[in-house]
Structure 1
Amino acid sequence: MPELPEVETVRRGLAPHMEGRRIVYAEQNRPNLRFPFPPGFVSRLDGNRVVSVGRRAKYLLIELADGWTWMVHLGMSGRFTINPGTETIVATSGQVGHNSGWALAEKHDHVRVEMEGGARLVFNDARRFGFMDLIPPGGLETNPHLAGLGPEPLDDAFSVAGFSAAIADKKTPIKAALLDQSVVAGLGNIYVCEALWRAAISPKRLARTIPGRRAERLVPAVKDVIAAAIEAGGSSLRDYVQADGELGYFQHSWDAYGREGEPCRKPDCGGILRRIVQSGRSTFFCPGHQR
């Protein structure tokens, strides 16, 4: 599933083609994705102007001129592709092709939007675990998907003191605590594994033992991993591509995730990466230096 860096990369790809521009045409090709589309979805978009393209955790939040917000969650396989001119860019499993003509669509192209200026945006979701919603003016803070989210990892609000307070009484493993969206928003399996590797903290360690010196290592590690992943365009795994059809590159920098049985890259460690299962998810770590 795309995590914060991938969603932020998509946001940055969409913004130049959408912000300040009017939606001149919108098309919805099925009644539902993970959930049904909201009533009047296409009519709300059609003719409206995009004020900004934002993000909260793993949600894209496209602010419209009439005060409504178009929410998008990419799910497991959802992706936007952009045609900035006269061709529709189609990206499938990392293969990029150019097909002329707006009418030509892939089987799983569920939403298509044409922007003022000619850019054409296509939302494709083969597994249909993504969803879209419309949030009325003033409804962001009470929206059930957004209410209760913790601070963004790159915001100042995600601090050693704040993080330590949030996990002080948690008896769950620190891996689970970092995946708790009320503790910190937007983190997922890949980047939690990477941050714990960098901070030399075992994913099995109880969260309540982290405040103090370990938190002083972990919070900067989370920030560094997320910033580096965004800079690299995210990690391309299975279906994810950037909005221009390009792959992300951070998967080439993984130190822990997916490296079971390989030697640890930390100098003088000598450990071998292991995989365990926590809460139904694979965790990759080095028992040599992660304690």
Structure 2
Amino acid sequence: MPELPEVEATRLSFADRISGAGILSAWCGKPLRWPLGLPVARLAGHRVLGVRRRGKYLLLDLDAGLLLLHLGMSGSLSFGTSLPPRGVHDHFELATSRGTLRLNDPRRFGAVVWAPDQDAPQARKLLGGLGVEPLSDDFDAASFHAALKTRKAAIKQVLLAGDVVVGVGNIYASEALFLAGIRPTLSAARLSRPRAEKLHAAIRQVLGRALAAGGTTLRNYSNAVGERGNFQFEAMVYGREGQPCRVCGTPVKGIRQGQRATFFCPSCQKT
């Protein structure tokens, strides 16, 4: 599933190229997770002002409203002036004066939703419950620790919930907890201030490294110009069950938490 680094890497790969483009036409294929919210033909004639990100959502600001794009479990965007013919898994397309933006989503858990503005009900429903951006100045260690003290759930589950800090995702939660030396099953409320500060720094470090590597490609992820991510080659624990820890040599352990795979080192992450 594309997580924050993959979504941001995707944004960076086409945002400058599409900004200022006029929309020539738009097309929707099979229904996605939520309806578009207006007749697709009404997008034609408008202009793309820019592309932002909020959590795992890409926000295309138009001269009238905005489009919120989510890549779901398996989605990816392509942008170019000569894309190949549409395939069976292509479900949305925006033809502009600077190129065509296309959403490919085999499992159709992604979405493209139009809203008149970011305060509109359609946008608030998707964005309103999201926590602080982990790579922004608003993500400070003291507030992070205070929020964790109110949560009794396992720390990895709290990170994935997205209402304390948004977009960490499954891969990077495992990696950040390893870097901080915290077992993923520990109750968030039990983290001391120093350990919360260590985790805060680890989250920022791991996400920064992942973004610099272009994200993680486990199956078929690539950004909007077809470039694959390389963070998977740097992973310390994610996807390495049974393999020796890169720090101490202890076999990495894999468990299930909330139907998601979790990986950790029993020695480096004792508590």
Q: TM-score range by the shorter chain?
A: over 0.9
Structure 1: distance between partners of 2:192 and 2:129: 22
After superposition, residues 133-144 of structure 1 pair within 5 angstroms as: 133-139=113-119, 143-144=124-125
CA-to-aligned-CA distance 1:7-52 (integer Å, 9 cap, x gap): 111111120221111112222223x112233222331x21111111
Structure 1 moving runs of 4+ over 4 Å:
none
Cα displacement (A) at 1:138: 4.8
After superposition, residues 53-68 of structure 1 pair within 5 angstroms as: 53-66=51-64, 68=65
Q: 2:37·2:115 contact (CA, 8 Å) conserved in 1?
A: no
Which letter does structure 2 place at the counterpart of 1:14? F
What is the aligned counterpart of 1:131 among 108, 111, 131?
111
In the alignment, structure 1 residue 74 sits paired with structure 2 residue 86: no
Which letter does structure 2 place at the counterpart of 1:284? F
- SS of residue paired to 1:161: helix
Q: Which runs of 5+ in 2 are unaligned?
A: none
Higher helix share: 2
Aligned to 1:208: 189
Structure 2: distance between partners of 1:138 and 1:215: 32
Q: 2:27·2:40 contact (CA, 8 Å) conserved in 1?
A: no
Cα displacement (A) at 1:2: 0.7
Which letter does structure 1 place at the counterpart of 2:250? G
Q: 1:13·1:242 contact (CA, 8 Å) conserved in 2?
A: yes
- SS of residue paired to 2:127: coil
CA-to-aligned-CA distance 1:195-224 (integer Å, 9 cap, x gap): 001111111111011131101210010001
Cα displacement (A) at 1:289: 1.1
Which letter does structure 1 place at the counterpart of 2:6? E
Aligned-pair identity (%): 43
Structure 1: distance between partners of 2:220 and 2:73: 8
Aligned to 2:209: 228
Which letter does structure 1 place at the counterpart of 2:74? S
Cα displacement (A) at 1:124: 1.0
- SS of residue paired to 1:193: helix
Which letter does structure 1 place at the counterpart of 2:20? G
Cα displacement (A) at 1:140: 5.4
Structure 1 residues 209 and 247 mapped into 2: Cα distance closer, same or farther (>3 Å)? Answer: same
Q: 2:145·2:197 contact (CA, 8 Å) conserved in 1?
A: no
Aligned to 1:274: 253
CA-to-aligned-CA distance 1:223-271 (integer Å, 9 cap, x gap): 01101111111101223111111211111111010000111112xx232
Q: 1:28·1:42 contact (CA, 8 Å) conserved in 2?
A: no
Q: Which runs of 5+ in 1 are unaligned?
A: 89-98
Structure 1: distance between partners of 2:211 and 2:198: 20
Q: 1:178·1:184 contact (CA, 8 Å) conserved in 2?
A: yes
Aligned to 1:94: none
* Number of aligned residues: 269
Structure 2: distance between partners of 1:49 and 1:75: 25
Structure 1: distance between partners of 2:138 and 2:258: 27
Cα displacement (A) at 1:280: 1.2
Aligned to 2:38: 39
- SS of residue paired to 1:37: coil
What is the aligned counterpart of 1:199 among 180, 184, 209?
180
TM-score by structure 1 length?
0.89
CA-to-aligned-CA distance 1:52-102 (integer Å, 9 cap, x gap): 100100001111012x1100110011111122x3x21xxxxxxxxxx4xxx
